[in-house]
Amino acid sequence: MASIALTSSLSLAPPSLPSLRSRKPTRFAAQFRSISTPSHFSRHPNSLSLTKSASTSLFQTHPKPNPYHSNDTKFSVRSAASGGAAVAAKPPSPPWQGAAIKPLLASILTGVILWFVPVPSGVSRNAWQLLAIFLATIVGIITQPLPLGAVALMGLGASVLTKTLTFAAAFSAFGDPIPWLIALAFFFARGFIKTGLGNRIAYQFVSLFGSSSLGLGYSLVFSEALLAPAIPSVSARAGGIFLPLVKSLCVACGSNVGDGTEERLGSWLMLTCFQTSVISSAMFLTAMAANPLAANLTLNTIKQTIGWTDWAKAAIVPGLVSLIVVPSILYVIYPPTVKSSPDAPKLAKEKLSQMGPMSKNEIIMAGTLLLTVGLWIFGGMLNVDAVTAAILGLSVLLVTGVVTWKECLAESVAWDTLTWFAALIAMAGYLNKYGLISWFSQSVVKFVGGLGLSWQLSFGILVLLYFYSHYFFASGAAHIGAMFTAFLSVSSALGTPPLFGAMVLAFLSNLMGGLTHYGIGSAPVFYGANYVPLAKWWGYGFLISVVNIIIWLGVGGVWWKFIGLW
């Protein structure tokens, strides 16, 4: 018989190698000594320290040494033979690579139950079946039995298999520009970081605002708000400009995806930039592509015009309050683990001096970015839309070799996001085309109108129903097109001042995008960076939605009374 025992021990003693002797109990000790680099400890566990060593991290924090372990680990293998044959250890079975069974069953069960619920009067069978598949897909996206793209693809497959949608209808949103604009944003981010331009700009930000994480966050928030009125695509602002910058800042500060450092800075910064992007979109008529649609529907419904100045004047006060309050609340409830960095600005300047002048690829990347942003700002005059401008910019990067096509293909998050976002847009769009959304709107109108409440209470109920029904939409424009007119008409009929009602619904049409990771163009961009788990994204999204509603209807209501809106 033969027996093999593997033991592991920790020792500070120098390594030794016992001799080996045939056919007698032997002991073979092999020691593996870990290799460690010099540590640069910060003066406080909650402070950021800028290391001067050759590291990819700008801010370094180090865990306390464990008193029960040394840095040296010794493994010893014992083997004893007694004349018998050795028994080979059975190799471990490979881990399960398929779906997580319980989340998968929860998703399927949701769809099956709703599928067999009697169809309400006024709803077509196709619409009800699509709702069942849509909700099952949403449950799958939340519980994630498989990656998001795989779950969404299965949802589309179920809709085609059951004849609820044709193949062309199910995959129609892959021709929508918004998912492609989001995917292109990830390719831009690759070039931004690869060339070093992202690090250069990140160090500039740190040198100016990097003494605290909160200061760094506010500098990004108000930079985005300043660009909002000039760039009418929130997807372009978030993906083409701020996602690359925020990712570079996170990496420079030692906050990376997949190594346990996400909450050092990246989780809070990504969520903050996303939640404030929906606020800045609500502040200006030209800050979100669907805002002019709301203004146009207002003119058609109540025959009153909302101009650029009217919109900005009404939104500026509650918008600024939200931009100040929301980052602070997230800083308290979802804080970064490192908060201060008193030496960071000085050391960031040293990093910049070490980088030297801009390289050729950095100059090309910067020029391409300026070209693309310029087309986003002035493209309306040239009849060039946002996604066309992004394709032009990517073409420049590909031709010059700043980004290669293989690198684009390797951006798995971009392709995954393109898949699940397009799938949700298609299903949500056909829920509207099949009449489910109009049935829901009419049912709400009849219900609220029959309560006999004051216009203030009736409008409050309508606002909440309008806002939280956005869980069923993957596009602000789709939501506005489907429900804005009906809700504005009934609120006006119940006594709500028409222009007041229109502007409140228009503002909320942006703010409700913060609920989910698919509700507005900037959502998949920031969520796709993978710094924030989905459950936290939805949970904090709901909490911030309550904060925004209180600010915009509370502080905003007082302001609107002051300027005579109601």
- 138-165 pLDDT, tens digit per residue, is 888 778 898 888 999 999 999 999 999 9
3-class SS of residue 60: strand
Q: What is the pTM of this model?
A: 0.65
How high is the pLDDT of residue 343?
A: 67
Position 116 confidence tier, pLDDT thresholds 50, 70, 90: very high
Mean confidence (pLDDT) of the chain: 80
Question: What is the residue whose two structure tokens read 């459950």?
Answer: 535
- CB < 8 Å & 24+ apart, contacts of 34-42: 34/71, 34/72, 34/73, 36/71
Q: What is the mean pLDDT of residues 34-51?
A: 40
**pLDDT exceeds cutoff 50 at 370:** yes
Helices (H), 261-359: 266-283, 291-302, 308-333, 344-355
Residue 82: phi, psi to the nearest 5? -130, 35
**N-term to C-term CA, the chain:** 92
Query: 560 — phi, psi (to 5°)?
Result: -65, -30
Q: Which residue type does 375 have?
A: L
* 373-406 tens-digit pLDDT: 788 778 778 888 878 888 999 999 999 999 999 9
Quick one: angle between helices 291-302 and 485-493, nearest 10?
Answer: 40
CB-CB contact of 130 with 430 (8 Å):
yes
3-state secondary structure at position 171: coil
Q: What is the separation of C-alpha 147 from the centre of its chain, rounded to a whole number of angstroms? A: 15
Concatenated DSSP letters for 431-497?
HHHTTHHHHHHHHHHHHHHTT---HHHHHHHHHHHHHHGGGG-S-HHHHIIIIIHHHHHHHHHTT--
| Degrees to nearest 5, angle at CA 486 with 480 and 487 | 80
Q: What is the mean pLDDT of residues 478-507?
A: 86
> Where do we find the tokens 């760094």?
216
Q: CA angle 172-176-182, nearest 5°?
A: 130
User: Phi and psi (nearest 5°) for 46?
Assistant: -105, 15
